[in-house]
Chains A and B, each alone.
Chain A
Amino acid sequence: MYDFTYAKPASLADAAKALGADAEAKALAGGMTFIPVLKQRLNKPSTVVDLSALGLNYIKLEGGKLMIGAMTPHGSVAASADVKKAIPALAELAGNIGDRQVRYRGTIGGSLANNDPSACYPSAVLALGATIKTNERSIATDDYFQGMFTTALNPGEIITEVQFPIPEKAAYAKFANPASRYAMVGVFVAKTAGGVRVAVTGAGQNGVFRHAAFEAALAKSFTPDALNGIATPVGDMNADIHGSAAYRAHLVGVMAKRAVAAAK
């Protein structure tokens, strides 16, 4: 690892200043992605700005919305009575990210800022139509994800909170890579007041995406059988040593049906 300067600001304003003043400064959340990247010398930050002292580790259920602070670790989301009550699918998703050690440290903000094409949270945020709050603005989820490892965040912009509207029912079904637990394919379905939304992670060449054909079919009938015969275009799928594009396209349908069957 290259050396760097370490800073642990005590206020959001100071953190924004430290990140804004220097294009080579980078934020550190749980470090579950960032520290392995640093170990491989794939990144050479001048300053690492630790976000852990900004008071962003909280969960609130207020005014029909679930608010999760950016620094809230996956394990806390999984265990939260508020999350289990409002959006049980989200608690379950968080409880199956990586392993227990990863869940103690990895955060929702870090996962969304990173936007790994196999990460779990992006599918929940997209399917639930959540809003991503930063130190600069609020970003609607449909504008946020812009391809793998790419988001609408400006350089130095800090995610502070994610706001979830409460769905009628929802579920996440993941086919996990057995070694890393990342999604080979993960499908999050949500039946909301505004309609049905289906988001797919792990499968697409451009990261998380909404599945319009599935959404249309499920809007007519929210049942697994409604998805019979609807193919997912193989050309849009990612292929790697873990699975071919055709394999992933097939899995998208299987996982979507499982999620619809499990939705509550």
Chain B
Amino acid sequence: MPQISLTVNGKPASATVEARTLLVELLRDKLHLTGTHVGCDTSQCGACTVQVDGMSVKSCTMLAVQADGANVLTIEGLVNADGSLHPMQAMFREYHALQCGYCTPGMVMSAIDLVETHPEGLSEEQIRHGLEGNLCRCTGYHNIVKAIAAAWPLMHNKALPVAAE
């Protein structure tokens, strides 16, 4: 069976996996990081979203062996050393961007990547388009969109530029 080593939330991890083991199975079942959720069978819901080498990916649609040598960040890795929340987590709480919370870890991971890859600014339309890979059955998305817009200035240390009309 393949032996893999990777970095998970800043710490080295290694595991013996089957070739067919999914990244999400490695994270949840072997590394006991159960914050990453599985919400579908069709690669559509995004509840399993984690970052692999800085890119948000659906960990249910990637083999663990494909992450050999990679740097993986999950929802558990966001909290600061002093226990304070990542700005995106804080804004999800502030804006009531969750109800049941099932989609939330994937939403937060996806949203962080969306904000990080748009240093020039982020319109409401871009946020909505950027969330196409994350389904939420509870909130109706409005508060999620607001939370992401509110996290942008905190993550970039400047005001969110207002889109020119």
Smallest CB-CB separation from A103: which chain B residue? B133
Tell me which residues across on chain A come within 8 A of B110, comparing CB atoms.
Answer: 100-101
Interface residue ranges of A161-216 to B (CB < 8 Å): 179-181
Q: Is A1 an interface residue (CB 8 A)?
A: yes
Tell me which residues across on chain A come within 8 A of B114, comparing CB atoms.
Answer: 100
Question: Can you list, as one digit per residue, whether each of B39-76 has a CB less than 8 Å from chain A (1) or not (0)?
Answer: 00111101001000001111001110110000000000
Q: How far is the CB of A182 from chain B (nearest CB, A)?
A: 11
* Interface range for A: 20 to 34
Tell me which residues across on chain A come within 8 A of B18, comparing CB atoms.
Answer: 3
A-B contact count (CB 8 A): 71
Which of A35-43, A226-234, A244-252 sits within the interface?
A35-43
Smallest CB-CB separation from A102: which chain B residue? B133
With A6-B65, A99-B132 in contact, do A105 and B57 touch (Cβ < 8 Å)? yes
Q: Is A52 an interface residue (CB 8 A)?
A: yes
A105 pairs with B61, CB closer than 8 A: yes
Q: Is B121 an interface residue (CB 8 A)?
A: no
Tell me which residues across on chain A come within 8 A of B22, comparing CB atoms.
Answer: 1, 35, 39
* Interface range for B: 20 to 34
Smallest CB-CB separation from A6: which chain B residue? B19
Q: Is A149 an interface residue (CB 8 A)?
A: no
A40 pairs with B56, CB closer than 8 A: no
Question: Can you list, as one digit per residue, whether each of A103-114 has a CB less than 8 Å from chain B (1) or not (0)?
Answer: 011000000000
Q: How far is the CB of B125 from chain A (nearest CB, A)?
A: 13
Q: Is B20 an interface residue (CB 8 A)?
A: yes
A35 pairs with B132, CB closer than 8 A: no
Q: How far is the CB of B79 from chain A (nearest CB, A)?
A: 23
A-B contact pairs, 28 of them (CB 8 A): A2-B20, A3-B18, A3-B19, A3-B20, A4-B19, A5-B19, A6-B65, A31-B62, A32-B43, A35-B43, A35-B61, A35-B63, A36-B43, A39-B22, A39-B41, A40-B41, A48-B19, A99-B46, A99-B133, A100-B113, A100-B130, A101-B57, A101-B110, A104-B55, A105-B57, A105-B61, A105-B62, A181-B132
Q: Which residues in B have some Cβ–Cβ distance to A below 8 Å? A: 2, 18-20, 22, 41-44, 46, 49, 55-58, 61-63, 65-66, 110, 113-114, 130, 132-134
